[in-house]
Amino acid sequence: MTVQISAAFDSGNIRLIAIEDDRIDLEIVKDHESDFYQWFHFRAAGIRGRALTFRILNAGGSAYPDGWPGYRARISTDRQAWTTVDTRYAGGVLEFDWPASSDADADIAWFAYFAPYSMERHHDLVGRMAAMPGVAARQLGATLDGRPLDCLTLGEGAKTVWLYARQHPGETMAEWWMEGALDWLTDADNADAAALRRKATFHIVPNMNPDGSFRGHLRTNAAGVNLNREWHDPTPERSPEVLAVRNAMDQTGVTFAMDVHGDEAIPANFLAGFEGIPGWTDALGAKFYRFRDTLAERSALFQTRQGYATAPAGKANLSMSTNQLAERFGAVAMTLEMPFKDHEDLPDPATGWSPDRCRRLAHDCLANLAAMIDDL
């Protein structure tokens, strides 16, 4: 049987270049109206009994080629369980093989940069949460492709907390984290969650970039715009997603904010803060550092040794959400980064950094917030 390659589905991205015997040559497609690319997600059919090598020929020209060394592609035969597969990178080409362990008897397999979080699963999450007691769902606006921008609100406390994810749509670990956060907050048996809801009101945007998510983009929306460079001056034409969320934040104010992302190169979970904003104070910065450092004490899935360099005084980029919210509201704002590779302090050779561990890290983050909410 001839091997068949397809990416014509929710979050799919690949272009078939050639099939020569048992070698399949592919390219990742650029984000629309953009030069960014790195996210891939495709299925291969007609593979039973075959020993195949998949080659992504343009990996070396991707947005973050430093993300490929040490990276392992994800594979699934049921789109539920995702495992890693041995992956090689040399000469600008990324390679991985089929079969992978016990999957050899399957007719079809899916391959992805990270475990996908489809728009269908997003709608399931929003619907499930909207039916929970004490949760209100609203549409903040519409994307350029006409998709709803969903926000879930819960809690009744005076502190205002905003959690938002997937400004960069290919960073699917961010919405897996959101699923874990929502499950923790709505758990009727969780006394810490109940106490936190009494002290804080949460506004949660699980997916800031539905268009890019569906289109299979790495980093941009339908107009090819990086949403996390729009927070200083969002417009309906370029970044309606940011405009809708920032307008809603202006109405509520922001005490604490977390922007959830994934990082291609660093094999660790870490936080980036708002050093360098014009309105920096040591008192505000101390609250961020306390959250970061106590999270490292609480969670084996988090560390503080690796991360991004901080901006010099007065040099923060206010087009990025964390800096903009800290400056605009005096908020304790931060960016959470999770790896596409593995968390090297606690590696899992079978799954790498995984959806389950994204959800567990969300639980740890919220338990940490509950412990210090009174001091924000």
Total of domains in the chain: 2
336 burial (CB, 10 Å; 0-12 / 13-18 / 19+) is buried
CB 166 within 8 A of CB 175: yes
98 DSSP assignment: E
- pLDDT for res 99: 82
Q: Of 77, 112, 147, at which residue does a domain stop?
A: 112
- pLDDT for res 102: 57
Same domain for 159 and 47? no
Alpha carbons 304 and 295: distance in angstroms, whole number: 9
Query: What separation, in Å, do the N-terminal and C-terminal C-alpha atoms of the chain show?
Result: 62
- pLDDT for res 1: 72
Annotated catalytic sites, by residue?
Answer: 337
Same domain for 14 and 156? no
Report the relative pairing of strands 15-20 and 159-165 from DSSP bridges: unpaired
Same domain for 106 and 156? no
- pLDDT for res 346: 96
Taking alpha carbons only, the member of 251, 233, 236, 168 closest to residue 207 is 168
- Residue 202, SS3? strand
Same domain for 51 and 161? no
- What the block records as the tokens of 338 is 């999770």
- Residue 335, SS3? strand
Q: Of 81, 112, 143, at which residue does a domain stop?
A: 112
CB 135 within 8 A of CB 188: no
Positions of the chain with pLDDT under 50: none
Q: Find the domain containing 75 and state its range.
A: 4-112
Same domain for 162 and 268? yes
Same domain for 160 and 249? yes
